[in-house]
Structure 1
Amino acid sequence: MKVLLIIPAYNEEGNIVRVCSELRENYPQYDFVVINDGSEDRTLKLCEKYNFPVVSFPVNLGLAAGFQTGMKYAYREGYDCAMQFDADGQHLPEYIGMMIQEMEKGYDIVIGSRFVEFSKPFTLRMIGSHMISIFIKLITGQKIKDPTSGMRLFNRDVMKECAKRMNCGPEPDTIAYFLKKGKKVKEVQVTMKDRIAGESYLNLPKSILYMVRMIISLVFIQNFRD
């Protein structure tokens, strides 16, 4: 199975070399492309210095634009599946093979989940995730235990739709959309590392706003998506 790892990156100069070098040296069976989302630091220069495949935006367009650009790239280049893979080093490539094996069993989307075998903690950060899981269950009938996981593998059919539809971003409401369309989604247990360098764009206020936006989309907007 021909696989492309899509690595959206915004101001990841402290992580991008380590993440991409590990993939290149230890997992050469997987192709990858960095989507540089208008970084203001040395992310692009480092990608060019180390000859990492990169698509670069002149300005910051956001995660959804980076994700869709990567999906368009994967679809155009004939990949069988594409994985959303973070540039901050939290996603571990040793789980990619296991996720591909699950996809080969007939699943359309495979999610690297932190909570298949472990309970989700009731922390302030996870309250929104609990609520999103509840609403996805109510809307689709299927429970997604880690709806905010960014480690997701998509088959070619889903890749095509994400590449061609503007409203198929890398968010839990898109997973709900595909579940309602009859796509098969599987979660597999993974471990994720803490970020080593840089800061997440999701601080507490942004996290709360994100969760509210996702719930509104799941409850209301989903009914208008064909």
Structure 2
Amino acid sequence: MEMDRKKILLIIPAYNEEKNIEKLVSSIRITCSDNVDVLVINDCSKDNTSAVCSSLGVPTVDLPCNLGIGGAVQTGYKYANLHGYDIAIQVDGDGQHKPEFVSELIDPILKSEADLVIGSRFINKRGFQSTVMRRLGIGYFTFLLKLITKKNVTDPTSGFRACNKKVIDLFSKRYPTDYPEPESIMYLIRNGYRIQEVPVIMQERMEGNSSITSLKSVYYMMKVSLAILIDSLRRQIV
């Protein structure tokens, strides 16, 4: 199979996920191909996330300070680029993303149909659909991106994504810091990269609490909206 000939890295950004990471890693090992490597980016967690990963034998990058989701994910992309991976997959450390959908995520990349593939919970509308407030925020970013780019992305905040070697290289050099998914989509569309969505089923966070509070959500929406609008005015990279 073509997948067996590709070098694939699964990136897990994790902040205080000691209660979730073992279940997630076990699920990955059961459902994913043996040639899918796993890397946890421990974003200076205050709990035992790093120790749990060590006990599981999972390669882990322990960041010396908290970089936030964007910096943690970009660390994974830098690792993937440095080690020559063909495909990188993002999976949140809170257990919301189901590893059994990894093959669906990377299939359009293997077929050279897409540069970035997003796992969307809103195509078939099955599984956990997020909270009402977050759905409103997701709908807002869908509207904003469609208004600017004419592209319909149903789940622009989804952190369940896969990308090819070109995007790995790009993201290793430039990746947004706060609430990075919508802004990175804008950046890719502006520069002519192909984006697809595939239907996935997500579930509620297994344990713990999200680091994104209601107040932070409002701040991120304003900040990311401005970043998207500014990015839309820039020229393509050459």
TM interval, short-chain normalised: over 0.9
Q: 2:144 aligns with which of 125, 135, 140?
A: 135
Residue ranges of structure 2 left out of the alignment (5+ in a row): 1-5
Q: Which residue of 2 aligns with 1:10?
A: 15
What amino acid maps onto 1:29 in structure 2? N
Q: Which residue of 2 aligns with 1:80?
A: 86
Q: How far off is 1:121 after superposition?
A: 8.7
Q: How far off is 1:202 after superposition?
A: 1.1
What amino acid maps onto 1:11 in structure 2? N
Q: Which residue of 2 aligns with 1:148?
A: 157
User: Residues 96-137 of structure 1, C-alpha deviation per residue, up to 9 Å, x if partnerless?
Assistant: 111111212320000000112339899322222111111111
Asked whether the 8 Å contact 1:129–1:211 carries over to 2, the reply is no
**Between the two proteins, what is the percent identity of the paired residues?**
40
Partner SS state of residue 88, structure 2: strand
* Segment of structure 1 superposing worse, 118-127 or 70-79: 118-127
Q: Which residue of 2 aligns with 1:216?
A: 226
Pairing 1:31–2:40 present: no
Aligned length: 226
User: Residues 10-52 of structure 1, C-alpha deviation per residue, up to 9 Å, x if partnerless?
Assistant: 0001011111122234423311100000001000111112211
Asked whether the 8 Å contact 2:71–2:177 carries over to 1, the reply is no
Residue ranges of structure 1 left out of the alignment (5+ in a row): none
Q: Which residue of 1 aligns with 2:69?
A: 63
Partner SS state of residue 5, structure 1: strand
Q: 1:162 aligns with which of 144, 160, 171?
A: 171
Q: Which residue of 2 aligns with 1:44?
A: 50
Pairing 1:104–2:110 present: yes
What amino acid maps onto 2:199 in structure 1? Q
Q: Which residue of 2 aligns with 1:172?
A: 182
Q: 1:192 aligns with which of 202, 206, 211?
A: 202
Q: How far off is 1:216 after superposition?
A: 1.4
Partner SS state of residue 220, structure 1: helix
What amino acid maps onto 2:183 in structure 1? D
TM-score scaled by length of structure 1 = 0.93
User: Residues 34-80 of structure 1, C-alpha deviation per residue, up to 9 Å, x if partnerless?
Assistant: 00000010001111122111011122111111111100111111111
**Separation (CA, whole Å) in 2 of partners of 1:121 and 1:18:** 21
What is the alpha-carbon root mean square deviation over aligned residues? 2.0
